[in-house]
A = this chain, B = another copy of it.
Amino acid sequence: MTRSSSLPPPEPSRIDQLPTPALVLDLDRAERNIAAMAERARRWGVNLRPHIKTHKCVELGRLQRDAGASGITVSTLDEARVFAAAGFDDITWAFPVILSRIPECVALAELVTLRLVVDSDEAVDGLERSGARFPVLLKVDCGYHRAGVDPRSPAALGLARRLSESRELGFDGLLSHSGHAYACDSVTSIRRVAAEECEVMGELAERLRADGLVVPTVSIGSTPACRLAEAVPGATEIRPGNYVFFDRTQAVFGVCAPSEVAVSVVATVVSSRPDLGQCVVDAGALALSKDPGPPLAERPSMGEVFDDYASGALSPDLYVRSLSQEHGILSRALPVGTRVRILPNHSCLTVACFDELRVARGERLIDRWSIRRERD
Protein backbone atom coordinates (compact mmCIF):
# COMPACT_ATOMS: atom_id res chain seq x y z
CA MET A 1 0.00 0.00 0.00
CA THR A 2 1.35 3.39 -0.95
CA ARG A 3 1.50 5.92 1.88
CA SER A 4 2.23 8.98 -0.21
CA SER A 5 -1.46 9.81 -0.26
CA SER A 6 -1.49 10.46 3.48
CA LEU A 7 -0.03 13.86 2.70
CA PRO A 8 -2.82 16.43 2.64
CA PRO A 9 -4.06 16.92 -0.93
CA PRO A 10 -2.80 20.16 -2.49
CA GLU A 11 -5.12 23.16 -2.25
CA PRO A 12 -7.12 23.20 -5.50
CA SER A 13 -6.49 26.22 -7.68
CA ARG A 14 -9.39 25.77 -10.10
CA ILE A 15 -13.08 24.95 -9.69
CA ASP A 16 -12.68 21.75 -11.70
CA GLN A 17 -10.25 20.46 -9.05
CA LEU A 18 -12.57 20.99 -6.08
CA PRO A 19 -13.70 17.98 -4.08
CA THR A 20 -17.48 17.95 -4.40
CA PRO A 21 -20.07 18.90 -3.36
CA ALA A 22 -18.74 22.45 -3.10
CA LEU A 23 -20.37 25.85 -2.85
CA VAL A 24 -18.68 28.28 -5.20
CA LEU A 25 -18.90 32.05 -4.96
CA ASP A 26 -18.38 33.94 -8.21
CA LEU A 27 -16.82 37.03 -6.69
CA ASP A 28 -17.07 39.15 -9.84
CA ARG A 29 -20.82 38.62 -9.90
CA ALA A 30 -21.23 39.26 -6.17
CA GLU A 31 -19.26 42.50 -6.44
CA ARG A 32 -21.43 43.65 -9.32
CA ASN A 33 -24.61 42.77 -7.41
CA ILE A 34 -23.36 44.60 -4.32
CA ALA A 35 -22.37 47.68 -6.32
CA ALA A 36 -25.65 47.80 -8.23
CA MET A 37 -27.81 47.74 -5.10
CA ALA A 38 -25.59 50.31 -3.37
CA GLU A 39 -25.99 52.55 -6.41
CA ARG A 40 -29.79 52.23 -6.26
CA ALA A 41 -29.82 53.22 -2.59
CA ARG A 42 -27.62 56.23 -3.32
CA ARG A 43 -29.84 57.29 -6.22
CA TRP A 44 -32.92 57.02 -4.02
CA GLY A 45 -31.23 58.81 -1.14
CA VAL A 46 -31.94 56.00 1.35
CA ASN A 47 -29.76 53.97 3.65
CA LEU A 48 -28.90 50.42 2.60
CA ARG A 49 -28.91 47.95 5.48
CA PRO A 50 -28.35 44.59 3.76
CA HIS A 51 -29.81 41.46 5.29
CA ILE A 52 -26.80 39.23 5.94
CA LYS A 53 -28.90 36.11 6.66
CA THR A 54 -28.37 35.34 2.96
CA HIS A 55 -24.60 34.90 3.25
CA LYS A 56 -23.70 34.78 6.99
CA CYS A 57 -20.21 35.66 5.77
CA VAL A 58 -18.14 38.42 7.37
CA GLU A 59 -16.09 39.07 4.22
CA LEU A 60 -19.23 39.68 2.16
CA GLY A 61 -20.58 41.95 4.89
CA ARG A 62 -17.38 43.98 4.64
CA LEU A 63 -17.77 44.29 0.86
CA GLN A 64 -21.30 45.56 1.41
CA ARG A 65 -20.09 48.02 4.03
CA ASP A 66 -17.27 49.22 1.81
CA ALA A 67 -19.85 49.83 -0.92
CA GLY A 68 -21.74 52.15 1.41
CA ALA A 69 -24.07 50.01 3.54
CA SER A 70 -25.01 51.77 6.76
CA GLY A 71 -25.33 48.91 9.21
CA ILE A 72 -26.62 45.40 8.67
CA THR A 73 -29.78 43.38 9.19
CA VAL A 74 -29.74 39.93 10.81
CA SER A 75 -32.35 37.22 11.35
CA THR A 76 -30.89 35.60 14.46
CA LEU A 77 -28.85 36.60 17.50
CA ASP A 78 -26.20 34.10 16.43
CA GLU A 79 -25.69 36.15 13.27
CA ALA A 80 -25.69 39.35 15.33
CA ARG A 81 -22.98 38.04 17.67
CA VAL A 82 -20.75 36.88 14.82
CA PHE A 83 -20.94 40.21 13.04
CA ALA A 84 -20.61 42.22 16.25
CA ALA A 85 -17.41 40.33 17.01
CA ALA A 86 -16.18 41.22 13.51
CA GLY A 87 -16.67 44.94 14.12
CA PHE A 88 -20.15 45.59 12.75
CA ASP A 89 -21.59 48.02 15.29
CA ASP A 90 -25.05 48.88 13.96
CA ILE A 91 -27.28 45.83 13.72
CA THR A 92 -31.02 45.47 13.24
CA TRP A 93 -32.47 42.14 14.35
CA ALA A 94 -35.36 42.11 11.89
CA PHE A 95 -37.35 39.41 13.65
CA PRO A 96 -40.03 39.92 16.30
CA VAL A 97 -38.20 39.79 19.63
CA ILE A 98 -38.10 36.30 21.16
CA LEU A 99 -38.96 36.79 24.83
CA SER A 100 -36.62 34.05 26.05
CA ARG A 101 -33.70 35.73 24.28
CA ILE A 102 -34.00 39.21 25.74
CA PRO A 103 -31.08 38.60 28.16
CA GLU A 104 -28.90 37.87 25.11
CA CYS A 105 -30.09 41.12 23.52
CA VAL A 106 -29.12 43.01 26.62
CA ALA A 107 -25.62 41.52 26.59
CA LEU A 108 -25.18 42.32 22.91
CA ALA A 109 -26.47 45.88 23.27
CA GLU A 110 -23.55 46.60 25.56
CA LEU A 111 -21.22 46.04 22.60
CA VAL A 112 -23.10 47.44 19.59
CA THR A 113 -26.18 49.40 18.62
CA LEU A 114 -28.80 46.65 18.50
CA ARG A 115 -32.09 47.69 16.94
CA LEU A 116 -35.02 45.45 17.80
CA VAL A 117 -38.38 44.84 16.19
CA VAL A 118 -41.72 44.35 17.92
CA ASP A 119 -45.35 44.06 16.95
CA SER A 120 -46.95 43.17 20.31
CA ASP A 121 -47.47 44.59 23.78
CA GLU A 122 -45.98 41.39 25.19
CA ALA A 123 -42.66 42.12 23.47
CA VAL A 124 -42.66 45.75 24.66
CA ASP A 125 -43.42 44.53 28.20
CA GLY A 126 -40.48 42.13 28.04
CA LEU A 127 -38.08 44.77 26.72
CA GLU A 128 -39.16 47.31 29.31
CA ARG A 129 -38.63 44.78 32.09
CA SER A 130 -35.05 44.19 30.88
CA GLY A 131 -34.08 47.71 31.88
CA ALA A 132 -31.93 48.15 28.77
CA ARG A 133 -32.42 51.09 26.41
CA PHE A 134 -32.96 49.57 22.96
CA PRO A 135 -33.89 51.45 19.81
CA VAL A 136 -37.08 49.67 18.72
CA LEU A 137 -38.82 49.51 15.37
CA LEU A 138 -42.48 48.71 14.95
CA LYS A 139 -43.00 45.83 12.54
CA VAL A 140 -45.74 46.63 10.02
CA ASP A 141 -47.62 44.16 7.84
CA CYS A 142 -47.47 45.79 4.40
CA GLY A 143 -49.47 42.99 2.77
CA TYR A 144 -47.27 39.93 3.26
CA HIS A 145 -49.41 38.76 6.21
CA ARG A 146 -46.63 37.04 8.13
CA ALA A 147 -45.61 39.22 11.07
CA GLY A 148 -46.39 42.84 11.85
CA VAL A 149 -49.29 45.01 12.93
CA ASP A 150 -52.09 45.83 10.52
CA PRO A 151 -51.18 49.41 9.55
CA ARG A 152 -54.85 50.45 9.64
CA SER A 153 -55.46 48.95 13.09
CA PRO A 154 -55.60 50.89 16.35
CA ALA A 155 -52.78 48.61 17.53
CA ALA A 156 -50.38 50.25 15.06
CA LEU A 157 -50.89 53.70 16.50
CA GLY A 158 -51.13 52.37 20.06
CA LEU A 159 -47.85 50.49 19.94
CA ALA A 160 -46.00 53.35 18.21
CA ARG A 161 -47.27 55.74 20.87
CA ARG A 162 -46.34 53.34 23.65
CA LEU A 163 -42.79 52.99 22.29
CA SER A 164 -42.48 56.77 21.87
CA GLU A 165 -43.55 57.37 25.43
CA SER A 166 -41.58 54.53 26.97
CA ARG A 167 -39.04 55.72 29.51
CA GLU A 168 -36.81 52.72 28.78
CA LEU A 169 -37.08 52.28 25.02
CA GLY A 170 -36.49 54.55 22.04
CA PHE A 171 -38.94 54.52 19.12
CA ASP A 172 -36.81 54.14 16.00
CA GLY A 173 -39.60 54.01 13.42
CA LEU A 174 -41.30 51.49 11.14
CA LEU A 175 -40.11 48.33 9.44
CA SER A 176 -41.75 46.11 6.83
CA HIS A 177 -40.82 43.25 4.51
CA SER A 178 -42.57 42.84 1.18
CA GLY A 179 -42.15 39.07 1.11
CA HIS A 180 -45.37 38.77 -0.88
CA ALA A 181 -43.36 39.93 -3.87
CA TYR A 182 -42.41 36.23 -4.02
CA ALA A 183 -46.06 35.36 -4.68
CA CYS A 184 -46.24 37.61 -7.76
CA ASP A 185 -46.58 36.34 -11.30
CA SER A 186 -44.92 39.19 -13.21
CA VAL A 187 -42.42 42.00 -12.98
CA THR A 188 -45.37 44.40 -13.18
CA SER A 189 -47.01 42.90 -10.12
CA ILE A 190 -43.73 42.94 -8.18
CA ARG A 191 -43.45 46.67 -8.98
CA ARG A 192 -46.99 47.11 -7.71
CA VAL A 193 -46.12 45.32 -4.44
CA ALA A 194 -43.08 47.57 -4.05
CA ALA A 195 -45.16 50.69 -4.66
CA GLU A 196 -47.85 49.56 -2.24
CA GLU A 197 -45.26 48.87 0.46
CA CYS A 198 -44.03 52.46 0.15
CA GLU A 199 -47.59 53.80 0.18
CA VAL A 200 -48.65 51.80 3.25
CA MET A 201 -45.51 52.67 5.16
CA GLY A 202 -45.50 56.33 4.08
CA GLU A 203 -49.15 56.77 5.07
CA LEU A 204 -48.63 55.22 8.48
CA ALA A 205 -45.51 57.32 9.09
CA GLU A 206 -47.45 60.46 8.15
CA ARG A 207 -50.32 59.48 10.44
CA LEU A 208 -47.91 58.98 13.33
CA ARG A 209 -46.14 62.25 12.61
CA ALA A 210 -49.48 64.07 12.41
CA ASP A 211 -50.12 62.59 15.82
CA GLY A 212 -46.97 64.20 17.14
CA LEU A 213 -44.63 61.19 17.06
CA VAL A 214 -41.10 61.33 15.72
CA VAL A 215 -40.55 58.56 13.14
CA PRO A 216 -36.84 58.53 12.29
CA THR A 217 -36.78 55.36 10.21
CA VAL A 218 -39.06 53.91 7.56
CA SER A 219 -37.34 50.67 6.61
CA ILE A 220 -38.67 48.53 3.79
CA GLY A 221 -37.74 45.95 1.31
CA SER A 222 -37.19 42.62 -0.24
CA THR A 223 -34.81 41.85 -3.05
CA PRO A 224 -37.49 41.69 -5.78
CA ALA A 225 -39.03 44.98 -4.67
CA CYS A 226 -35.69 46.78 -4.24
CA ARG A 227 -34.35 45.52 -7.52
CA LEU A 228 -37.42 46.33 -9.63
CA ALA A 229 -38.87 49.44 -7.96
CA GLU A 230 -38.37 52.72 -9.77
CA ALA A 231 -38.51 54.76 -6.59
CA VAL A 232 -39.12 54.22 -2.88
CA PRO A 233 -40.98 57.38 -1.81
CA GLY A 234 -41.34 57.74 1.94
CA ALA A 235 -38.70 55.16 2.79
CA THR A 236 -35.49 56.08 4.59
CA GLU A 237 -33.89 52.62 4.42
CA ILE A 238 -33.95 49.43 2.34
CA ARG A 239 -33.03 45.95 3.60
CA PRO A 240 -32.63 43.55 0.67
CA GLY A 241 -30.60 40.40 1.36
CA ASN A 242 -30.80 37.88 -1.44
CA TYR A 243 -29.46 40.33 -4.07
CA VAL A 244 -25.85 39.60 -3.16
CA PHE A 245 -26.23 36.12 -4.70
CA PHE A 246 -29.67 35.86 -6.35
CA ASP A 247 -30.88 32.34 -7.26
CA ARG A 248 -33.25 30.39 -9.47
CA THR A 249 -36.29 31.86 -7.74
CA GLN A 250 -35.17 35.41 -8.54
CA ALA A 251 -34.35 34.39 -12.11
CA VAL A 252 -37.79 32.85 -12.60
CA PHE A 253 -39.36 36.10 -11.36
CA GLY A 254 -37.31 38.12 -13.82
CA VAL A 255 -35.48 39.87 -10.98
CA CYS A 256 -32.10 38.78 -12.36
CA ALA A 257 -30.61 36.74 -15.17
CA PRO A 258 -29.05 33.33 -14.45
CA SER A 259 -25.73 34.91 -15.49
CA GLU A 260 -25.96 37.23 -12.47
CA VAL A 261 -26.37 34.46 -9.87
CA ALA A 262 -23.22 34.45 -7.74
CA VAL A 263 -23.43 31.08 -5.98
CA SER A 264 -23.58 27.64 -7.49
CA VAL A 265 -23.15 24.12 -6.20
CA VAL A 266 -20.55 22.03 -7.98
CA ALA A 267 -21.47 18.35 -7.89
CA THR A 268 -20.25 15.09 -9.39
CA VAL A 269 -22.17 12.20 -10.89
CA VAL A 270 -21.59 9.22 -8.61
CA SER A 271 -24.02 6.69 -10.08
CA SER A 272 -25.69 6.49 -13.46
CA ARG A 273 -28.57 4.48 -14.87
CA PRO A 274 -29.07 4.98 -18.60
CA ASP A 275 -31.87 2.38 -18.43
CA LEU A 276 -33.79 4.67 -16.05
CA GLY A 277 -32.78 7.89 -17.82
CA GLN A 278 -31.25 9.40 -14.68
CA CYS A 279 -28.13 9.67 -12.59
CA VAL A 280 -27.20 10.54 -9.01
CA VAL A 281 -25.03 13.49 -7.98
CA ASP A 282 -23.44 14.14 -4.61
CA ALA A 283 -25.54 17.24 -3.88
CA GLY A 284 -28.67 16.33 -1.95
CA ALA A 285 -30.99 18.10 0.47
CA LEU A 286 -28.04 18.96 2.75
CA ALA A 287 -26.24 20.74 -0.11
CA LEU A 288 -29.12 22.37 -1.98
CA SER A 289 -31.88 22.53 0.69
CA LYS A 290 -35.36 21.20 0.05
CA ASP A 291 -36.69 24.54 -1.13
CA PRO A 292 -39.02 23.64 -4.01
CA GLY A 293 -38.51 26.93 -5.87
CA PRO A 294 -41.31 29.11 -7.15
CA PRO A 295 -44.58 27.55 -8.34
CA LEU A 296 -44.35 29.98 -11.27
CA ALA A 297 -41.41 28.04 -12.76
CA GLU A 298 -41.73 26.22 -16.06
CA ARG A 299 -41.14 22.89 -14.37
CA PRO A 300 -40.87 21.65 -10.81
CA SER A 301 -37.16 21.28 -10.12
CA MET A 302 -34.93 21.20 -7.06
CA GLY A 303 -32.23 23.06 -9.00
CA GLU A 304 -31.24 23.72 -12.60
CA VAL A 305 -27.99 22.76 -14.28
CA PHE A 306 -25.84 25.25 -16.18
CA ASP A 307 -25.02 24.26 -19.74
CA ASP A 308 -22.61 27.19 -19.85
CA TYR A 309 -21.91 28.93 -16.58
CA ALA A 310 -20.30 32.06 -18.04
CA SER A 311 -23.26 32.96 -20.24
CA GLY A 312 -25.82 31.70 -17.73
CA ALA A 313 -27.28 29.26 -20.27
CA LEU A 314 -29.27 26.55 -18.50
CA SER A 315 -29.76 23.06 -19.81
CA PRO A 316 -33.15 22.56 -21.43
CA ASP A 317 -33.55 18.99 -20.19
CA LEU A 318 -31.03 18.42 -17.40
CA TYR A 319 -32.15 19.45 -13.91
CA VAL A 320 -32.40 18.16 -10.35
CA ARG A 321 -35.53 16.06 -10.33
CA SER A 322 -35.54 15.10 -6.66
CA LEU A 323 -33.43 15.14 -3.53
CA SER A 324 -32.83 12.94 -0.57
CA GLN A 325 -30.40 13.73 2.25
CA GLU A 326 -27.14 13.40 0.29
CA HIS A 327 -28.39 12.29 -3.14
CA GLY A 328 -29.62 14.47 -5.98
CA ILE A 329 -31.32 12.79 -8.93
CA LEU A 330 -30.67 14.39 -12.31
CA SER A 331 -33.14 14.05 -15.15
CA ARG A 332 -30.71 12.41 -17.59
CA ALA A 333 -28.04 9.73 -17.32
CA LEU A 334 -24.52 11.20 -17.42
CA PRO A 335 -21.30 9.22 -17.05
CA VAL A 336 -19.98 8.68 -13.52
CA GLY A 337 -17.41 11.37 -12.79
CA THR A 338 -19.16 14.09 -14.82
CA ARG A 339 -19.14 17.39 -12.95
CA VAL A 340 -22.12 19.75 -13.06
CA ARG A 341 -22.73 23.24 -11.76
CA ILE A 342 -26.15 23.71 -10.21
CA LEU A 343 -28.24 26.88 -9.93
CA PRO A 344 -29.91 26.58 -6.51
CA ASN A 345 -33.59 27.35 -5.98
CA HIS A 346 -33.01 29.48 -2.88
CA SER A 347 -29.50 30.68 -2.19
CA CYS A 348 -30.16 31.69 1.44
CA LEU A 349 -31.04 28.08 2.35
CA THR A 350 -28.38 26.53 0.13
CA VAL A 351 -25.62 28.65 1.65
CA ALA A 352 -26.82 27.62 5.13
CA CYS A 353 -25.95 24.00 4.21
CA PHE A 354 -22.21 24.71 3.93
CA ASP A 355 -19.40 25.78 6.22
CA GLU A 356 -17.55 27.74 3.57
CA LEU A 357 -17.68 29.51 0.26
CA ARG A 358 -15.03 28.59 -2.27
CA VAL A 359 -14.28 32.02 -3.71
CA ALA A 360 -13.58 32.17 -7.45
CA ARG A 361 -12.67 34.68 -10.13
CA GLY A 362 -13.84 32.92 -13.26
CA GLU A 363 -12.57 29.34 -12.94
CA ARG A 364 -9.71 30.30 -10.63
CA LEU A 365 -10.08 29.75 -6.86
CA ILE A 366 -8.69 32.62 -4.84
CA ASP A 367 -9.95 32.13 -1.28
CA ARG A 368 -12.16 30.26 1.20
CA TRP A 369 -14.62 32.28 3.28
CA SER A 370 -16.45 30.92 6.32
CA ILE A 371 -20.22 30.73 6.44
CA ARG A 372 -21.14 31.35 10.06
CA ARG A 373 -24.17 29.17 10.44
CA GLU A 374 -24.01 28.68 14.19
CA ARG A 375 -27.34 27.98 15.86
CA ASP A 376 -26.99 27.99 19.63
Contacts and interface: CB of A to CB of B under 8 A. Distances in A.
Contacts of A285: 289, 291, 349
Assembly of this chain: how many copies?
Answer: 2
A271 B324 contact: no
A333 to B, nearest CB: 11
A31 interface: no
B96 A270 contact: yes
A286 B376 CA distance: 12
A145 interface: yes
Contacts of A139: 271
Residue among A100, A276, A348, A353 with most chain B CB within 10 A: A100
Contact of A147 (B153, B271, B292, B374): B271
A20 B100 contact: yes
Contacts of A19: 98, 100-101, 104, 376
Interface string A328-346: 0100000111000000000
Contact of A276 (B145, B325, B327): B145
The DSSP consensus for interface residues of chain A is loop
A337 B375 contact: no
A147 B327 CA distance: 9
Contacts of A325: 53, 75, 348-349
A268 B17 CA distance: 45
A163 to B, nearest CB: 15
Interface string A343-359: 00000110011111000
Residue among A104, A272, A286 with most chain B CB within 10 A: A286
B53 A5 contact: no
A179 interface: yes
Interface string A136-153: 000101000111101001
A368 B119 CA distance: 33
Contacts of A324: 146, 179
A106 interface: yes
B5 A96 contact: no
Given A5-B107, A103-B5, A103-B9, A326 B95 contact: yes
Interface in A98-125: 98-101, 103-104, 106-107, 110, 119-120, 122-123
Nearest to A121: B336
A132 interface: yes
Contacts of A99: 268, 270, 336-337
B349 A374 contact: no
A77 to B, nearest CB: 9
Contacts of A97: 270
A282 B131 contact: no
Interface string A14-45: 00011111000000000000000000000000
17 contacts: A2-B131, A5-B130, A6-B106, A6-B107, A20-B98, A21-B375, A97-B270, A98-B282, A99-B268, A99-B337, A100-B268, A120-B272, A123-B336, A126-B337, A150-B275, A353-B375, A355-B375
Interface of A: 1-3, 5-6, 8-9, 17-21, 53, 75-76, 95-101, 103-104, 106-107, 110, 119-120, 122-123, 126, 130-133, 139, 141, 145-148, 150, 153, 179, 268, 270-273, 275-276, 278, 280, 282, 285-287, 289-292, 324-327, 329, 335-337, 348-349, 352-356, 374-376
